[in-house]
Structure 1
C-alpha cells in the first residue's frame, strides 16, 4: 500500500521578518504559504492514490488566534474524506492538548491518536495497523516509544511519533529516543515529526524517517520542503520518495570570491549564482540570504553591510530573487612578501572606519564640491554631498589600493 507522511505544518505560522524586505504582494503570498502548502499536500495524497495520510505532529503552531485555522484544516480533511482517504495524526509540542484550547469538529476519516497512552488504530479494509501517541503537554521528556505495542502480524504496521531522536541537534529534546528504540518495534515504517530537516533515521529493514516541515518559514529552514510518499508491504522494507510541496523557498546562497580582483567581478558572481538558484526553484518565489566568502582583495570594499545588502538586492531583482540580507565573510589575501601585514591591517581597518564615519571624506570632497559640485549635480553625474556616493568613492579607492598592495603575491 501507499501512504503519505507529513509533519510540522505549523498552520498559519508567519514567515519571519517579511516586513524588512518583501514587497506587499510577496508578503501577502508568504502569509498564506502554510495554507497553500497544506492544500498541495491534500492534492498530492489524491494524485498519488495514497491509501492513508499520517501527520506526525505540530499541525498547528500553537493555540489558534480564532477558529479560522481549525476550520481550514477541517475543510482540507473533508476533501480527503470525500475521496475515502483516512487520516491518522498525533499532537506535537506546538499543538499539544494543553496548548490548543479551541476545537472544531473533524470529519469521520480523521483519527486523532490518544495523548494518554499509545493507541492502536486498525484499518481492516487496508490491512493497516497504526500506532501513535500525541503530546498531552508542550514539554514531554519521557521516551514514549518504549510503551508502543509490538507489531500486529499479518498487517502493515506504521508508527507515528513526534520526537527528538538522538542525533537531531538543534531541536528541543522532547519525547527523546534512539534509532534502536524505533528499530525494536519492528514496524514497517515509523513516521516522525519535530525535526524540520528531512532525514532517514533507520535505513535497515524497519525504516524510520523525518519528513521535515511542509513549508520553510525563515532563512534557517532552507531547501525543498514537502512530504514523503511511502510504499509499504507486510514485512518488506519501506520505499520512500520525497515530493516538494512548498510555495516559497529559502536558500542560503554561498558565493566564493577567492581570487576575484574587483567588486564588479564579485557582484557578477553573485548574480550568476542567484540566477542558477532561481532556475532550480521553478515557479515558487526564492528568498535568499547571500554570504560572500573567500580570500579576495575586495574584502575591504565589501565590508559595508548596508551597501552590500542594497547592491545585492538590486542585482537580485533582475533574477527574480528576494534577498533578506547579504553578508561578507571575505578576507584579504595573506601576503607572503612585499607587503607589511601591519600596513595591510591598517588599510582594512581604515576602510571599515570610513564606512561608519564619512567626516574625513566630506572634508576631502568639500574643495571639488565648492569648485564644480553644482555643475556635477545639475548634470546628474555625481553628488559630492551624498553620503552613499562618497562611501562608494572611498570604497573603490581603498579597493584599488588593496589590489595594488597585493598584486605582487597574486
Structure 2
C-alpha cells in the first residue's frame, strides 16, 4: 500500500503488515529473516518524513493498543506501543494525571514517542520523553524480548530512546505521568519586536514550566524574528473561576473540524503567508497578557483541525527542525531567518523553543540551545532552500531532528552529528542493520 509520513513526502509503496500481538509480530520477523528483507515498525504515521516507511516490510503497531496497568503511588503507567497519547490523556486526566512530556500532537503512539524521544514546550525544565521512561520491552531480530532501562540493558535502552525504531521493535513500556489539579493551563502571551527581544524573553522566563514562541518568519529588518512567546503553567483549583471548580478535570473541548480536500498548490505563497503572519502577530500582540485556556488548545492547537496536512496540497510539505547550541543560537537563528525571508519561500508555521541538556539516547536530538521548526510546501525550490539552511545549521554547530526529516543527505547528518557513524557501527555489530531499516536509515546510512 502507498504510505507516507505526516508531511506526505515521500510516498512509498510498502508491503504492510499489522502486528496484533507478540506472536504475530514474531512470525513477521521470522518471515523477513527467511527472505532477507528488513522491516521497520510504524505507529500512527505522525513522524513527518520516511522514518516509519520500509518498502520491503512496514509493520503497523496500532493493533497492540492496550493500557496494561497504572500505579497511582508512583504515577507509572504501563502501555503497549500502539496506545495513542490521546488514549492516555482520555483515561488519566480525569483522574488527575497528565504526561510529563508531550509533543505538539496527541495522535502519536507510545512507541513513536520513545523512538523519536519526543520533546515539548518544557524541555528546558524537564528534558524529553525518555527521561520519564522506567523500562521498555524490545523485540530483537531473533524474536526474543529484552527489557531495558537506564539501569539494566542500558546500552539497548540508549539505542532505543531516540533510535527511530532501529534497535528493534518496541512492544510496551512503563513511564511516569505527572499529577495535576485541573485540565486548565494558566497562559501568558508576550509579544516581542525582534529576535534579540524574543531570546531575551525566553531567558527572562526560564523558570516557566512551558514556553514556546510563534515567529513571523517573513518579517525583515529590525522586525526580523518578531514573535509571540507563550508561557504556560498547570492551573491549580483555586485559580479557576467558581463555575469551573466543580469539574476541574473534565472540560468541554473544542469541536474538531476536518480539512475536506487538498488545497491548491498556489494557496500558500509569500503574499498569503505574509498577510496571515502580519494579522496573526497584530492580533496576538493586542490580546497579550494572561488567560486560562483548556489543555487541548494550549498543547495541541493543530489537532483541532483534522488532516491539516492537506493544507499543503498533494505534493505535501517538508518539516524542517534543527537545534543550535546556546552560544551560537542568536547568530544562527538570525542567519536562518534572513535566508528564509530573502528566498521568498514562506514557512506557514514557524516555532521556536528553548532546549535543555542532552537526553539519554545514543543519537538523540536535543542539545542545550534553541530549536527552530518550520513547514515548507514541497517543491524543487524548497529543496534548494533547505540545502542552504543545512549549511547554516552546520556552520553554527547544530543538529537535525530525524523525526521531522525527509530529505537531508547522509554526509550532512555526519557533519552535524559524529554519533551517527557510531550508531551505524553499533547496529552492524549487533546484527541489526540488515534486519531493522527504514527508508530514512537507508538514505542516511544509519
Q: Shared topology, TM-score over 0.5?
A: no
Q: TM-score, normalised by structure 1?
A: 0.21
Structure possessing the higher relative contact order (Cα contacts under 8 Å, 6 or more residues apart): 2
Q: TM-score, normalised by structure 2?
A: 0.19
Query: Over alpha carbons, which structure has the higher Rg?
Result: 1
